[in-house]
A and B are shown apart, each in its own frame.
Chain A
Amino acid sequence: MRIEQVDELLWEIPRQDRMRVPARVFADAELLDAIRGDRSLEQLANVATLPGVVEAALAMPDIHQGYGFPVGGIAATEPPEGVISPGGVGYDINCGVRLLTLPLTAAELGARKEALVHAISREVPAGTGRGGRLEVRGLDLDRVLAEGPRALVEDRGIGTPEDVERTESEGRLEGADPDQVSERARQRGGDQLGTMGSGNHFVEVQRVERIFDPEAARSFGLAEGQVTVLIHSGSRGLGHQVCTDFVRRMDAARARGELRFELVDRQLACAPAASAEGRAYLGAMAAAANFAWANRHAIAAGVRRAVESALGPQAARETRQVYDVAHNVAKLEDHGGRRVYVHRKGATRAFPAGSAEIPAPYRKTGQPVFIPGSMGTWSYVLAGRPGAMERSFGTVCHGAGRQLSRTAARKRLAGGELRQELERAGITVRCPSNRGLAEEAPFAYKDVERVVDVVERAGLAARVARLQPVGVVKG
């Protein structure tokens, strides 16, 4: 596939064949070489064919092959003709990350780290279908779908109003319509609030290893040596079912001739945002996104219970939420004088200082963005910069990005050996599956330093702090 260099960190696939706009990738030359090794760029070019897509289909340096959209892909579509694509948002609607700070340093935590990691593994159920201690059905579930974590604060006394304020979109997407969430999706989600799932989801205990921007770090409540907890999960079976339902529904509508456009990939199933199908999906997606925020909110409550049991009630009371960001979602936003649906598939909103969309305490620094590395490497805290609004629809990367398939990762190192390696490096591991552990090995991912370097030099976000893993709980 022909790709042209625009500048040191931006590459373009010119508009060709059925592409309606060009496709652009933020990467350095070495990352681009790795990106060319799978089908990512072909998938990105496919995204550029979507009806109503504007400006360019974009990819972040952590891009890798997914299904339909590449992971790390971004597309903005302009209503009313512009489409909304459930395949573009993905199965794990509003998969995302939430960062908590604990009121002590890693040195003060000391030998109690093992007890803390163990307590988290007991309080936050992990694995495919494991339910949690919190069941929400019927009208209670409707409240969560409509209001997100605020419903848990107000109805169940779980978490605090400050947690809600320090969540992207305050944990509530406008237009959520619980009636568009199928009975099967409701049944799957009813007992899954507060559960992690499996795959690449985790709860990680970390130490703030380095501060890059002291002023921003202060505003985020981060200090060198401090203990943090990073939570990565999504909308669980409820969101998976919403995606399944609407990919099928839009695929069938197109087959019946009700949606008159050709698709280069069936998984890009979509409908004009203003159509009946499009409006129904937007209502269901928003409800699933709210459910995901409520899920991470409930997981954070589990972490606070673990902190209380391992470190005492005062430490639990003083455990604060820095922020919570979505990775897989479509949101109506204003960019370049247009009102567009920004699809982020494995990408993070990163609004700069001054944005009214971010919590007041962060308006001088820019929105906090969390970039998980892998179990054995750094994670980063970034702050959004104006370049993101100018160049990437207010978006940056979401992680390091996979570079090895799960099969290849397992072939290189057995899970048991990896567990020992991580323990030798001082990282306490709780994961029931050696297979799952091996598939998420650090070497399966790109170099997070390099990925973060690209988004910083491209002016999309800036480093605030670097976090070192000291314990991980995985599904």
Chain B
Amino acid sequence: MHRWAEHTGELELELEAESEAALFESAVEAMAELLGEGGGEGAAIARDVSLAAGDRAALLADWIGEIAYLAERDGLVPERLERLELRDSGLEARISGRAGSPPHLVKGATYHRLELRQDPDAWRARVVLDV
């Protein structure tokens, strides 16, 4: 589950899920919503992603940043997370979607107030995006 919280200048994304992997999947859903406005009407495309980071919160920010990068470079409007392997220091994944012209620019997934935690009832995270 994702939610866009109020932020005067940028976009603040809040995520909640039953597992850590589901949290990363909910980030794909949020980015699909953001980048999908205007539609990806082109050919089906998929991209493999491989990331490493020093901690889980940074890995999540980098994950979101990578999706924004694929939207800029390849016009990928994400639709589905085909595969996700979370490892101690990184992840391997495959994202599929449609080629299009994602309208909304994400300049960066920041480390400002970055958070990823396991609460007794759910995994929760917050990432602020520079737009």
- Which residues of A are interface residues toward B (Cβ below 8 A)? 38, 40, 64-68, 71, 87, 90-92, 127-130, 184, 187-188, 197-199, 237, 240, 243-244, 247-248, 251-252, 255, 265-267, 269, 402-408, 432-433, 435-436, 475
Q: Any chain A CB within 8 A of the CB of B108? A: yes
A–B complex contacts, Cβ < 8 Å, 24 sampled:
A38-B7, A64-B8, A68-B110, A87-B112, A91-B130, A92-B130, A128-B72, A129-B75, A129-B102, A130-B101, A197-B105, A199-B105, A237-B72, A240-B130, A244-B108, A251-B54, A255-B55, A266-B112, A266-B114, A269-B111, A402-B9, A405-B6, A433-B37, A435-B37
In the assembled complex, the Cα of A38 lies from the Cα of B8 at a distance in Å of 7
**For residues 19 through 64 of chain B, which have their beta carbon under 8 Å from a beta carbon of chain A?**
37-38, 53-55, 58, 62
- Whether the pair B111, A244 counts as a contact (CB closer than 8 A) is no
Within 8 A of A (CB), among B73-131: 73, 75, 101-105, 107-108, 110-114, 128, 130-131
A197-B105, A240-B130 known, 7 other contacts, Cβ within 8 Å: A66-B9, A128-B104, A129-B72, A129-B75, A130-B101, A405-B6, A407-B6
Contact yes or no, A128 B8, CB < 8 A: no
Instruction: Provide the bound-state CA to CA distance between A265 and B113, in Å.
Output: 7
* The residue from B9, B62, B107 contacting A65, defined by CB atoms under 8 A apart: B9
Judging by beta carbons under 8 Å apart, are B10 and A67 in contact?
yes
Main secondary structure of the interface of B (DSSP, over half): loop
Q: Is the CB of B10 within 8 A of A198?
A: no
A408 to B: closest C-beta gap in Å: 7
Evaluate contact between A255 and B54: CB separation under 8 angstroms: yes
Q: How far is the CA of A127 from the CA of B72 in the complex (A)?
A: 9
Residues of A within 8 A of B112 (CB): 66-68, 87, 265-267
Q: In the complex, which residues of chain B have a beta carbon less than 8 angstroms from the beta carbon of A435?
A: 37-38, 103-104
Answer yes or no: B17 CB below 8 A from chain A CBs.
no
Chain B interface size band reads: 35 or more
Chain B residues in 8 Å Cβ range of A40? 8
Contact residues of A: prevailing secondary structure: mixed
Interface residues of B (CB under 8 A from A): 4, 6-11, 37-38, 53-55, 58, 62, 65, 69, 71-73, 75, 101-105, 107-108, 110-114, 128, 130-131
Question: Does B105 lie within 8 Å of A475, measured CB to CB?
Answer: yes
Contact of A128 with B131 in the complex, beta carbons under 8 Å: no
Q: Which residue of B lies closest to A38 (CB)?
A: B8
- A87 contacts B6, C-beta separation under 8 Å: no
Contact A267 B8 (CB under 8 A): no
| Residue numbers in B under 8 Å from A64 (CB-CB) | 8-9
Residues of B within 8 A of A38 (CB): 7-8
Contacts of A199 in B (CB 8 A): 105, 107, 131
Taking CB atoms, residues of chain A closer than 8 Å to B54 are 251-252, 255
Partner pick for A404 among B8, B10, B62, B114, CB 8 A cutoff: B8
The CB with the most chain A CB atoms within 10 A, among B6, B8, B102, B105, is that of B8
Determine the chain B residues whose CB is within 8 A of the CB of A244 once the complex forms. 65, 108
Q: Closest CB-CB distance, B8 to chain A, in whole Å?
A: 4
Least CB distance, B117 to chain A, in whole angstroms: 15
Asked if A128 contacts B103 (CB within 8 A), the reply is yes
Evaluate contact between A402 and B130: CB separation under 8 angstroms. no
**Cα distance A184–B71 in the bound complex, in angstroms:** 14
When chains A and B are docked, how far (Å) is the Cα of A94 from the Cα of B11? 21
Complex contact A71–B9 (CB within 8 A): yes
A402 touches B103 (CB 8 A): no
Instruction: Kindly provide the distance from the CB of A468 to the nearest chain B CB, expressed in whole angstroms.
Output: 26
Q: A248 to chain B: closest CB distance in Å?
A: 7
Distance between Cα atoms of A323 and B59 in the complex (Å): 41
The closest CB in chain B to the CB of A239 belongs to B107
B104 near A198 (CB under 8 angstroms)?
A: yes
Residue in B62, B65, B131 whose beta carbon sits within 8 Å of that of A406 in the complex: B131
Q: Are A91 and B111 in contact (CB under 8 A)?
A: no
B103 touches A407 (CB 8 A): no
Distance of A244 Cα from B10 Cα, bound (Å): 16
Q: Which residues of B contact A403 (CB under 8 A)?
A: 8
Central interface residue in A244, A255, A269, by most chain B CB within 10 Å: A244
Task: Tell me the complex Cα distance, A384–B92, Å.
Answer: 52
> Would you call A405 and B8 a contact (CB within 8 A)?
yes
Contact A266 B111 (CB under 8 A): yes
Nearest A-chain residue to B129, judged by Cβ = A67
In the complex, A243→B91 CA distance in Å? 22
A2 to chain B, nearest CB (A): 22
